[in-house]
Structure 1
Amino acid sequence: MGEHMDCSNFMEHVFEYLDGEMTESDCEIFARHLQECPPCLDEYQRDQALKALIRRSCGCEEAPVQLRTQIIASFTSITVEYGR
């Protein structure tokens, strides 16, 4: 990700940060950008609130078996096509 993050780079990685999918050093860079950039902090807080709302609203529902099967099959299909 680099030592400096611009706002467009921030937007590309905001959900990685929210989901805890970044390395520790990238998290530090990301957090530093949030401290220094009020517009990105606002965007981060909106995305964080949206994820929390979705989690509360949909947390008790489970996808139908057929849908889960189709999604898993599409992953397999994508992997096979990519591996060619």
Structure 2
Amino acid sequence: MSEHQHGRDDCVDYIERIVYLLDNELDQSDCAVVEMHLRECGPCLERYDLQRAVKQLVQRSCSESAPQALRDRVRLQLREVSVQITEGRTD
């Protein structure tokens, strides 16, 4: 099936499966079906590439820690907001 023969409804079925493929949550037969669709459908392949890039970016970002000064400022602001809410103020 060529890219032009894929209907929008057909591709909608693959959107969730693409995420599962990236998360290694599909069995081998489902992986093969999704991978075949990706080989034949340019728009879905683009979506897959975008999802993969976002996932990699999030993984890199989550492995870094915020500087101690930033963490201290956030904690202080959280305490201030907590006190304001406890006292009934929301400025």
TM-score, scaled to structure 1: 0.63
Structure 2 residues without counterparts, runs of 5 or longer: 1-9, 66-91
Confirm whether residue 18 of structure 1 aligns to residue 22 of structure 2: yes
Report Cα offsets for 1:18-73 as digits up to 9, x if no partner: 01110100000000000000000000000000000000011245xxxxxxxxxxxx
- Equivalent position of 2:43 in the other structure: 39
Larger radius of gyration: 2
- Equivalent position of 1:51 in the other structure: 55
Structure 1 residues without counterparts, runs of 5 or longer: 1-5, 62-84
Q: How many corresponding residue pairs?
A: 57
TM-score, scaled to structure 2: 0.58
Match of 2:54, as an amino acid?
L
Q: Percent identity?
A: 41
